[in-house]
Chain A
């Protein structure tokens, strides 16, 4: 994957785009401009089926014979490349409503997941969506591969953004629900800030991975949260409860950053130990790059699971 060739879809740019579908398409196009290989398909000797060619498919997999018979550009699909089931999980807790820049973490995460959904849908993969709000699963769209399903899913994401973040983080029940529903080896992508008092989400992700699912954690954090750049006196208020604190950020920056580093290290280490893909995604990062980064190792994986 070549980042230099992407068009660098900035979050504020994506926000100005009208619909979630448009944003998703723009991001995907930005991420895969000039690329012809599917992000998710590997290679195998055992032919499984044909599918219509779409951008990103390997041209060498075009079955020219079938083209001659059907006059359509059909691509061979092998065993590995059969229909993929993906579960997208969005954390919609109150902490996701923070946005020091152009977009909130919720908007950023939703847009990023929308781009993934659109990409997967275009590949005729089965995509489901779990939105976790305060108190547990907030919305659930089972994975389907029919036409219009992606649009429904993007609509749900758009609705989630519009509804805003709320409540305390309770991602674990949503992930447990995904684990119950995902019977096949599936792709699970979770977008969250992990700002939860309980260590549940990471354990759930490791369990999903242990069941053979391909799990990716998109750790979405705002640049303010990563650097605490404030200079003036601030009264910080919790987004999830009533806590507040009047403090001079300059006085506590070093300690804050140290504790944040410990938090990030713990999250990263927890993912690595459970073979969970971990991606730290600052909300000021271009979305196409974030998307490409999220899919970075996906192309190298031949199979889901194991």
Chain B
């Protein structure tokens, strides 16, 4: 507390006057021997006490009145942390920039910073006076532009009250630019921009501070200088975890401690469909990052699961949770294209392959088979398959090749095996787009030989990449792979460079298994037959693990992780497949967005812009028959932009400034103070004391 006229406090000495008079009056009380003192004592004990109390009250009232008189003259005041900056009344143009980024949801002392910002903004609005033109500018990224300056302050006040914190980070450069443009267009001489924000680092990410010309800028730190601490999950990714089976995933969450103090043993959990699958703790030094890994087996049978990693909540809850759409290969859906079907089962091109992929026709291998003739491939729904095996296919039409190539480019797996029906000219011609490497010509391992000589001169696998996933289960000795005899193989055209890999070679050096990527997909070329026509591999123990691992390796699954996640406010492209008549996207709050009619016609993708909330978004496709199917492969997660999670106070150099040096600015005033005059209250108390003194005196 301070005093504008401290010398007047000398008047406090006047408070001694009533006391002195009182004591003096007591000393002067006349001593009077009295005979009827019984009547005084007996009749007046209670009244004497009342009188004594009244006497003391009277003394107190007089002393307090003297004190109050001195205090009023000394004009006391309190310096307190200002609820808002000093506000001038009068004609002026005022832009109220309200930081509605998600970081303003930070709860401090039981209320959110955003609520504080709104209160401060309303307080400023009430103080600028009716002659001020005012506009409200929201500062979050992607916020709608502000309306024009308006003298209807009621509307602005309603807009402030109706404002809610967004789920986006702040874009102060844009917001301040809009504010400057608004007040700059005003005919008022006084132009002021008030920024209500926690002034956190996440809100001012540009290297250089924004500079506002001819505008008086006032920063209102709603955090009032309080250091803010926040731990956030800034990223989540998922990988396969083969040790846990087909539905095993390893989810890795990246966490950041935006605080000046370390965090110890903060709880973090992973859940699916609201059920917690794993829980752990994480410790983070101040300002550091850390990763937390969870290895879990996803429940259910769906191909895609929405995984949520969640921290034990702190003051800013919104960034304590992060979603991820994880697609798991439940069953490898495999389409076998039979290029040499036979009526005798064991002579059929796919007899050994189909038997090896699905032994006993049971689901133990978790590989689902669909067998087609090459002519039917063009009409097949490739998007419902993970792997396509072209077994000794002689020819595919152009449309089928294009569809297949596009499908592989989107992540499909193509396994090509050769045989008697395969012709090099056909493959190198219309079907060349599918081949990892051009075909040259078939070659007999032992031309003219028969019997034992033929067996002895047959080709054998000379070397293979034992560490490759396809061969990983065979061991160093290849589990019989090296013993298999190849009587006939296809030689490949020599090529140089490229990203193809020869995973296995024959002893002669000819490629046996070649891998090459195509877009997001993979291709494998096996230069012999997949049945026993050209080799005896199917009767060796290595055959089954080889073909199963090859199919699993080729499984068309996009790398699980944030490929299926985006940020709030960003556009998410949704795949449109042939036959789709309607695509629905359901947001976390249940709101649906429908694409149909002209929005789908002739398009392979549609942009979805309704990513306004963080959470899991579900996609459902409706075909021409009106059948609705969840399209889990298109499901995606939306998360907040982690850049806004840094709630530490921004460096002063990054805070916006006013370019006009003649105008005052609140820059640097981390906690503005305001003077609150107290003399009004003291004067009121003085009146009360005088009134009380008068009443007490009158009663006497």
Could you tell me which A residues sit within 8 Å of B by CB distance?
A: 94-98, 105, 193, 195, 197, 222, 224-225, 230, 232-240, 243, 245-248, 250-252, 255-256, 258-260, 263
Contact = CB atoms under 8 A, between A and B. Distances in A.
A143 to B, nearest CB: 30
Given A245-B48, A248-B700, 8 more contacts: A94-B35, A95-B35, A97-B35, A98-B35, A233-B26, A236-B32, A238-B34, A245-B37
Given A248-B51, A250-B700, A252-B47, A259 B33 contact: no
A246 B26 contact: yes
Contacts of A258: 43
B41 interface: yes
Interface in B26-45: 26, 28-44
A237 B33 contact: yes
B22 to A, nearest CB: 11
Contact of B35 (A195, A232, A252, A256): A195
Contacts, number: 97
B51 A247 contact: yes
B30 A259 contact: no
Contacts of B47: 251-252, 255
A133 B33 CA distance: 19
A234 B36 contact: no
22 contacts: A97-B33, A97-B35, A195-B35, A197-B38, A230-B32, A232-B29, A232-B30, A233-B25, A233-B28, A233-B30, A234-B32, A236-B33, A238-B33, A239-B33, A240-B35, A245-B40, A248-B55, A255-B47, A256-B40, A256-B43, A256-B44, A263-B39
Contact of A237 (B26, B31, B43, B51): B31
Contacts of A248: 51, 55, 700
Contacts of B33: 97-98, 236-239
The SS class assigned to the B binding surface is: helix
B700 A256 contact: no
Contacts of B51: 247-248, 251-252
Contacts of B36: 95, 195, 225, 256, 260
Given A193-B35, A251-B51, A259-B39, A235 B44 contact: no
A230 B30 CA distance: 10
Contact of A98 (B34, B39, B43): B34
A19 B96 CA distance: 107
B34 A237 contact: yes
A243 to B, nearest CB: 6
A234 B29 contact: yes
Given A235-B32, A237-B32, A250-B700, A259 B42 contact: yes
B299 to A, nearest CB: 89
Interface string B201-222: 0000000000000000000000
B55 to A, nearest CB: 8
Nearest to B42: A259
Contacts of B29: 232-235, 246
Nearest to A258: B43
Contacts of B25: 233
Contacts of B31: 234-235, 237
B28 A225 contact: no
Contact of A252 (B28, B32, B48): B48
Interface string B588-619: 00000000000000000000000000000000
B34 A260 contact: no
A165 to B, nearest CB: 9
Interface in B117-167: none
A96 B434 CA distance: 141
A255 B36 CA distance: 13
Contact of B41 (A105, A233, A234, A243): A243
Given A233-B28, A252-B48, A255-B47, A247 B40 contact: yes
A225 B40 CA distance: 11
B32 A251 contact: no
A250 B35 CA distance: 18
| A-B CB proximity, top 8 nearest | A95-B35, A233-B29, A259-B43, A98-B35, A236-B34, A252-B44, A259-B39, A238-B37
Nearest to A195: B35
Among B34, B35, B36, the most chain A Cβ lie within 10 Å of the Cβ of B35
A230 B35 CA distance: 14
A250 B47 CA distance: 12
Contacts of A246: 26, 29
Contacts of A239: 33-35, 37
A252 B32 CA distance: 15
A255 B30 contact: no
A100 B359 CA distance: 135
Interface string B16-27: 000000000110
B48 A243 contact: no
Contacts of B40: 236, 245, 247, 252, 256
A236 B39 contact: no
Q: Which of B33, B36, B38, B48 has the most CB of A within 10 A?
A: B36
A238 to B, nearest CB: 5
A234 B44 CA distance: 14
Contacts of B42: 259
A246 B49 CA distance: 11
A267 to B, nearest CB: 13
B30 A234 contact: yes
A256 B42 CA distance: 9
A37 to B, nearest CB: 37
Nearest to A263: B39
A263 B37 CA distance: 13
A236 to B, nearest CB: 4
